[in-house]
Amino acid sequence: MKNYIQPGKTLTVTAPAGGCTSGKAYKVGGIIGVASTTVAAGESVELQLEGVFQLEKVSAQAWAVGDPIYFNATSGLVTNASAAGVVLVGIATAAAVNPSSVGNVRLNGTLGIAAQAV
C-alpha cells in the first residue's frame, strides 16, 4: 500500500501551553495520550495513544476493573465519573481504592470524545 503512513499507536504533536512531562496525560485538540518525553511548550512530543499506564486520578474515588475512565483536561486527572467537560479515554485495568492518587488505565487509542450526560 502506497498510502500507508504509520501504525498510529503514537502521534507527534506540538506540546501545549505549559509543556509536557513524560508519563503524564495530555489533550491536544481531539488527541489524548501520554507524553513519551518532557518538552517545553511548542516543541514536538510523541503521545502514546494505546497501552496501559498508571495515571494521576481523582483521589477521592474507588475504581473497579472495567470502569470507563475519563480525562479532565483542566485538572490533568483521570476519573471514573462521567461529567460535562471530561473525555472518555479508556478503562480501568485494576481496582483503585479511595483515597489513592493513581490508577491503571488502558487507553482506548481513539480521539477524545466528550462524555455524554446520562
Strand, coil or helix: 118: coil
What does the DSSP assignment read for 66-107? T-EEEEETTTTEEES---TTEEEEEEESS-BPSS-SEEEEEE
Q: What is the pTM of this model?
A: 0.90
Of the candidates 12, 38, 10, the one whose C-alpha atom is nearest the C-alpha of residue 23 is 38
pLDDT digit string, tens, across residues 23-70: 999 999 889 999 999 999 999 999 999 999 999 999 999 999 999 999
Tens-place pLDDT, residues 69-112: 999 999 999 999 999 889 999 999 999 999 999 999 999 986 66
Where residue 118 falls among pLDDT bands split at 50, 70, 90? very low
CB proximity list for 103: less than 8 A, separation 6 or greater: 54, 55, 57, 63, 69, 78, 92, 94, 96
Q: What is the reported pLDDT for 111?
A: 66
